[in-house]
Amino acid sequence: MDYISITPAQKTSMLEAIGAETIDELFSPIPESCRFTGDLDLPPALAELDLQRELQKLAAENSAAANGACFIGAGAYDHFVPVFIDQFISRGEFLTAYTPYQAEASQGSLQAFFEFQTQVARLTGMDISNASLYEGASAVGEAAMLALNATGKRRVLVASTIHPDARATLKTQLEDLPAEFVLLPAGEDGRISPAVIAEHTDSDTACVIIASPNIYGLIEDWKTAFHAFQNAAGDVGNKPLNIAVFNPTACALLKNPGDCGADVAVGEGQPLGVPLQFGGPYLGLFAAKQKFLRKMPGRLVGQTSDGEGRRAFCLILQTREQHIRGARATSNICTNQGLLALRATMYMTALGPQGLRDVAEQSWHKAHYLAKRIAALPGYDLAFDGEFFNEFLVRCPVPASAIIDAGRAKSIHPGVDLSCEKVASIGAENQLLIAVTEKRTRAELDALVDLLVECAP
């Protein structure tokens, strides 16, 4: 099915109107030497019914974590998503609309993005937000680019405890630029100490990037870290930027980036109503202080009015963007994650402040319940003493992969083996990173504890 409505008879009359004899004639500008004359070597077309069968077969080849007891996190979390969101995001008026360049014909998406920007700004305690970036890791890269541009400096300090994918993405991005990628080592407590930050800061430093919770689930002290950073930078003309990498769920319960003095706050928006879907599409959140408005990457929606004074919305400051500014744009991003931003705003609206708080609190309580039970097991202990939110690192008496294998038959997905390549092998083979969301029941938490007991030698 190629979804074409033009009939063969219509084709003939259309060719006549064009003044061409054959379809081939329309393709005559393609030089003969470049033409592809055979058939593409692709599987034959499938009717919808057969396609459904094929797809079901493919999907069934997965044992999807979210369909069992999922304790896997490390940047993507198995949160509850109200059915409302899937239903409303599927409305064709949202699903099949383009970027809202024609404002009068796009007031629905524009207003939704304006509300999204406001919600993200309030959740993070920042002044402003854009209308989304691709995902969390490239959002970190964009934050660093803003810092380089805003300060004219070259050094980018990055906590080694940010997500390994964000670290790697940033490293790739800075590779061919006049910039220096400086990794801040973590202390024995799994966090970045103010002394380490101060030690690496010099007059050419553009920013420091610190994630909280970090990759071990630990809460970093942004406020103290940023304070140490600014002190070390001294009283310079172009102040370097404090960049906070946040988890939006944690922002509903813990001190947010704005509370702690961040200049720019970026994060992975997946926890806001986006299914795990094997890593994407997710959305990058990007919030900042007002003074960075004109240096923001990506689309921004602003409020204005029409000829009659009605409140209305349109894309603003497009002269920052690639389609106007070309090589001098603040970023090369064009297509963003519009539908995911819609998901996120619907999620925040449907749950409301209390619902978001409930999600964060239940994740906290359940994670701490589980951590206490595991810490009491012989052979197991928590790798770090520091405060954590919904994720923690456990030292196991056996390789983490053995525990993951043992969980398979019970549809328990115990967590992430920190020695595996998917997390850049940042940990030892007996380190298991366990995430707990509000979705996990007490029975599931206890079942994981039982599994760990069985796995212990």
Partner 1 sequence: MTTTTSTIKPVKIDMTTTDTTTSAVAPRTLGERPTEDLIFEKSSPGSRAVDLPPLDVDETPIPEAIAGAAPALPEVGAIQVTRHYTHLSQRNFSIDGEFYPLGSCTMKINPRINEYAASLPGFTGSHPMQQDEDVQGCLRLLYETRELLQEIAGLPEVSLQPAAGAHGEYTALKVIRAYYKDRGEHQRNKVLAPENAHGTNAASCTSCGAGAINIKAPGGYTDIDDLKRVIDAEGPESIMALMITNPNTAGLFDSKIDEIADIIHDAGAMVYLDGANMNAILGRTRPGDFGADAMHYNTHKTFSTPHGCGGPGSGPIAVRDFLAPYLPAPQVVKTSDGRYALDYDRPKSIGKVRSFVGQFGVLVRCWTYIRACGPEGLRNIAETSVLNANYLAARLAERFEMPYFDPAKGKYAAHEFVTVPRTLLDKGVTLNDIAKRLIDYDVHPPTMHWPVRDCLMVEPTETEDLATLDRFVDVMSMIADEIESDPDTLRRAPESAPVERLDIVAADRKPITVHPMD
Residues 176-215 that bind partner 1 (CB under 8 A): 176-178
387 binds partner 1 (CB under 8 A): yes
- The smaller minimum CB distance to partner 1, of residues 6 and 378, is found at 6
CB of 142: closest distance to partner 1 in angstroms?
A: 10
Site for partner 1 in 20-49 (CB under 8 A): 20, 23, 25-31, 33-36, 39-46, 48
321 binds partner 1 (CB under 8 A): yes
Cβ-based neighbour number of residue 263 at 10 Å: 22
Site for partner 1 in 46-65 (CB under 8 A): 46, 48, 51-52, 54-56, 58-65
How far is 334 from 385, CA to CA, in rounded Å? 43
Interacting residue with partner 1 among 152, 234, 279, 376 (CB under 8 A): 279
Site for partner 1 in 69-108 (CB under 8 A): 70, 72-76, 78, 80, 82, 84, 86, 88, 90-100, 102-108
Radius of gyration of the chain (CA): 25
CB of 96: closest distance to partner 1 in angstroms?
A: 4
Which token pair is 59? 């999907």
How far is 441 from 457, CA to CA, in rounded Å? 27
Interacting residue with partner 1 among 306, 385, 450, 454 (CB under 8 A): 306
- What letter does residue 328 receive in the DSSP assignment? G
**For residue 296, which of 159, 133, 116, 154 has the smallest C-alpha distance?**
133
Which token pair is 26? 């329309």
How far is 187 from 394, CA to CA, in rounded Å? 17
Phi–psi pair at 400, nearest 5 degrees: -60, -35
Q: Which stretch binds partner 1 (CB under 8 A): 186-194, 230-238, 417-425, 449-457?
A: 417-425
**Phi-psi region at 278: left, alpha or beta (left = phi > 0; alpha = psi -120 to 50):** left
- The smaller minimum CB distance to partner 1, of residues 241 and 423, is found at 423
Amino acid residing at 273: G
CB of 89: closest distance to partner 1 in angstroms?
A: 8
- The smaller minimum CB distance to partner 1, of residues 166 and 265, is found at 166
Which token pair is 209? 């990037």
Q: Which helix (H) or strand (E) holds 111?
A: helix 107-124
165 binds partner 1 (CB under 8 A): yes
Which token pair is 182? 């400086």
Interacting residue with partner 1 among 153, 155, 163, 200 (CB under 8 A): 163
Site for partner 1 in 254-273 (CB under 8 A): 254-256, 259, 268
Interacting residue with partner 1 among 198, 312, 406, 428 (CB under 8 A): 312
Interacting residue with partner 1 among 189, 231, 236, 334 (CB under 8 A): 334
Cis ω before 194 (30° cut-off from 0):
no
Q: Which stretch binds partner 1 (CB under 8 A): 154-162, 197-205, 229-237, 408-416?
A: 408-416
CA torsion sign, 357 to 360 to 364 to 365? Answer: positive
346 binds partner 1 (CB under 8 A): yes
